Each structure stands twice: as C-alpha cells, then as structure tokens.
Structure 1
C-alpha cells in the first residue's frame, strides 16, 4: 500500500484522549522485508514517553558529528517555547551515571549509550540539545512516520503547558526501527530494561528494542531475531490505568510481555497468516 510522506513541519497531534477508566492498546507487527503488518489501532497517537529517544539517537548518528568529542554535562536547557530555561527532574531519571558526571565532560557517544541502554533522561536532553529538534523531525520524516512528533525535551514543562508534546504511534515506531542501521540496533539490543517485549521472549533471544513508561503509559518497540524464523518488528503502545509508571512492577508491562509471547508463538507464520483479534479488530494490513 502506498504511503504519503507527512510534511516536515507541523503541529504535534494530541495524544489519545481516554474516557474515565478507559484504555487504548495499539499494535504493529511485521516480518522484516514484508509489506504485511498485523495492526490494532496502530495509527493512534500516544504520549511517547522514552520511545522518543530512538528518534534522538537516529538523528544524532545521522548528523555527521564526531561522537567522540567531549561535551559539557549540565542540567539547564532551552525550552521549545524559547521561554525560561528548564532542568531535568533527577528523581524521575532511571540512570544515576550522567548525574554523577555533572560539571565534567562526556562524549556524545557515551551519552547516547546511557540514553538508550539505561534510558537516561539527562543524557537524552544533552543529546537533543546538540542535534536539535529539526534534525529529529527529519528522522521521523525519512521514516515515513505519519503522526509521530518529538516537539520538546524531557521535563520541558513550559512547552508542555503550551501544548507541545511528544507523541508516537505503534506504526511509526515500527517504521523507524526498521530503518535503523545495524550499529544502532546493536545499541538497542543492549537495553538494560529487560521487561515488556523482552520478558515475553525465551531467555537469550536477541531483541533490539526501546521501552518507555509513565503513569498511564507503557510502550515498547523492537526488532526480534529468532534463530528459527525471519526477524520481525513489533511495537506495542498502551495508554490506560494498568500503567503504574514503575519500571518493572507494572501490570501494563506484563500485558506487553503477553502480547510479545503471543507473536513469538506465531513467528513461523507471521508473513502469511491472517490474524484476527478476539473482537475482530486485529487485522492484516499493507505497509
């Protein structure tokens, strides 16, 4: 199915709006090299959480920068609104190492590794400050993303109050992952947070993935490499009350693990079978 490439510049769509107690689950699964995808609400926008770090990583490596040049480690950033500067909230960051480096220098390569492997928010904003929002928008454009937008850095509350949000869809996340070069997939495969998608796979299975979580949000997208079947991309986005915002002890993470396990069980036939969800909404689709 032919896809139109979205414009390079545009307003970020609002994330999914839920009724009280409601939830939305989005799924996009496809074998690499196949135009057939298994989809459920795959174009529904969700708040991106840490999945936006994949686009920042791709932009950083695409920009031709010397990633081994040391840069200052600080916690003061220009808002997307160009208003007062903002800082990352340390208590909500999952990686202590960049905070221990405050006031010193680290390379962009080191920061990008902390951003992906340990999901560091501070490292993410430092990488984003060097690459710029326009470069990240270009990455989404080249991935033929339809709805996903990275509009601000993490904890840019001024931008958030102005309605500037980071959003992702399962389909766009899968498109981006499928276009990453091998060296970036190797970095994603080192992800230290072995929950959700990874938890649904047999131990030792290679999966290059990035997950993200906030209260009310749990997402994960990656490329799975079975030894006995073709590799496949899988992206699952969940918004709803199951997501506690905890890194590990999260019912939504267990939901994603069950979905991951279900597609692993079908890995031999993903390229040809028609899969129907119990309510009839999960379907095979082109592109």
Structure 2
C-alpha cells in the first residue's frame, strides 16, 4: 500500500516496492502509451480476437468467458475507433480492448511510459491470457509506489477517462457518493488491486494504491471479499484526509500471486 498527497512524501507506506501480478492495473500504462503514441485515435480498427504471443509460438485468443465487458465482445468483426477501445479498456476493464490497444503500441512503448513516470519495479511484458508467455515466466508486475507514480504523471485528460471507471467495488466504494476519483482496479483469483487519485471537495487531493494478494480475492468483479477490504482501507484514508501525516505501517505485505 502507498498513499500520499500529490507532490508530497507518502503518508502511509507498507511494502511499497513489493511486486505483485498486475492484473488489470497494467491497463493504465497501456492507456498512457496509446495516448502518447501519435496514432490517430479516431481511426477505425478491426475488433478481432487473435494476438501475437510475447514468446515464439502460436497466436493466442481470449476465451469468451474471460471478457468482463460484453460491449466490446459484441463488436467482434467490426471496426471501431481506437479511442472507443481505449475507453472500454479503462472504464469497463475490457481485456479484448486491452490486447488490441497493446498490439497497436507494443510493449516497448508501455515500458517507456513506466520509465518516464519514474517507476522502479513495474513491467508490462505481455497481453492478457497469453498462456505461452505466462508459461515461459513472462508476466506483468506492479508495485503500489509505482502505480502512484504513474497516476501522478498522467495528464488530466487521461485521468478524466479513469474517472469514468464503472467498477466501483473497492477504492471508490470507500468514498462518499459523488467524490471525484480517477482510478483503475484489477482482479484475478488471489489478487485484488486498486489505485487512484482522489479529489475531496474540502481537502487536498491524494493518491493511493492498495495491492492485495491472498485468499480473500475471489477473482470476481462483483462480490469479492478482497474488494470490501480495500473499500474499508479507502474509507479510513478518507476519514484522515484533513490530517494525512507520514506513517509507515509495519509488517510484511502478502506475497505476490500470478
């Protein structure tokens, strides 16, 4: 976990550099790479479910039950603006849209985003459900501190896209209704993360990333016990929003899971 007022030292830090499997938080870096790529975001691209693996071998596909966003899946075989796919990627957590966007920019461009944001340990090396790469040990990793660095580096227009995230079961659930928060969460069995920038109407904005790996994470978008735990942490931070001070929590963070 890592939380800080913008431009300030962390007020809460527990295992900030512990590496975790990224789950869908890697979509923040893909969004940033796409927006700085110079590609025409209004150009139509084909929505197809066939991707080149990060390692030598056959192409891979997303299984239909892996896609959380039915709206993107319904567009298979049609052409849509790249901008629309970017929005579905971060607002509806579409894995299909993510893999298409990643194929457009490449992992090298995403690595450059992490570098420019000042990330120290986070990497994006493959698309989602690239089983061949996963078997070869090629994976996507994040840390809580790096997620905060990335969010604080993003321009306002990308933060506004993240503010449209419809999956509000964790970090956003710990905030009062109507609170502005630009965030991205990620979940698979054994992992639940959420990272965002919160703008209270009565206090300075702050950034927070909460990364969890353990048995509470069911891997479900809804009804995940880990999501409720993250919401409680978010609520405690909100309660302290007026007097956030540097506090380093003790103890070791849960182990990463892939």
Is the structural similarity TM-score above 0.5? Answer: yes
What SS does the aligned partner of 2:223 have?
coil
Taking the aligned partners of 2:252 and 2:215, their CA distance within structure 1 comes to 21
Q: What residue in structure 2 maps to residue 30 of structure 1?
A: 4
Alignment-derived partner of residue 243 in structure 1: 217
Give 1:245-260 correspondences, 5 Å limit: 245-260=219-234
Q: Which position in structure 1 is the counterpart of 2:85?
A: 111
1:82 Cα offset (Å): 3.0
Are 1:162 and 2:136 matched, yes or no?
Answer: yes
Local SS of the residue matching 1:204: coil
1:22 maps to which residue? Answer: none
**Residue of structure 1 aligned with 2:179, choices 205, 213, 225:** 205
In 2: Cα distance, 1:76 partner to 1:221 partner = 29
SS at match of 2:76: coil
Cα distance between partner residues in 2 of 1:48 and 1:126? 18
Secondary structure (helix, strand or coil) at the match of 1:237 reads: strand
Aligned partner (choices 101, 108, 115) of residue 134 of structure 1: 108
The residue that corresponds to 2:121 in the other structure is 147
**What displacement does 1:129 show?**
0.3
- SS at 2:247's partner residue? coil
Q: Does 1:121 align with 2:95?
A: yes
Q: Quick one: which of 265, 272, 275 aligns to 2:247?
A: 275
Q: How many residues align?
A: 253
Per-residue deviation, 1:93: 1.1
Root-mean-square deviation (Å): 1.3
Q: Displacement of 1:195 after TM fit?
A: 1.1
Q: Distance in 1 between matches of 2:138 and 2:56?
A: 12
Aligned equivalent of 1:14: none
Q: Which residue of 2 aligns with 1:89?
A: 63
State the Cα deviation string for residues 110-147 of structure 1 (Å, max 9, x = none): 00000011000000000000010000000001111111
Is 1:224–2:170 an aligned residue pair? no
Pairwise CA distance, 1:83: 1.5
| In structure 1, C-alpha distance between the alignment counterparts of 2:248 and 2:47, rounded to whole Å | 49
> Does structure 1 conserve the Cα–Cα contact (< 8 Å) formed by 2:69 and 2:94?
yes
Aligned pair partner of 1:59 in 33, 37, 51: 33
CA contact (8 A) 2:13 2:247 kept: no
Paired residue secondary structure (1:219): strand
Where do 5+ consecutive residues of structure 1 fail to align? Answer: 1-26, 283-287
Cα distance in 2 for residues equivalent to 1:67 and 1:241:
40
Instruction: Compute the TM-score of the two structures, normalised by the length of structure 2.
Output: 0.95
Choose from 43, 53, 75 the match for 2:49.
75
Match of 2:256 in 1: none
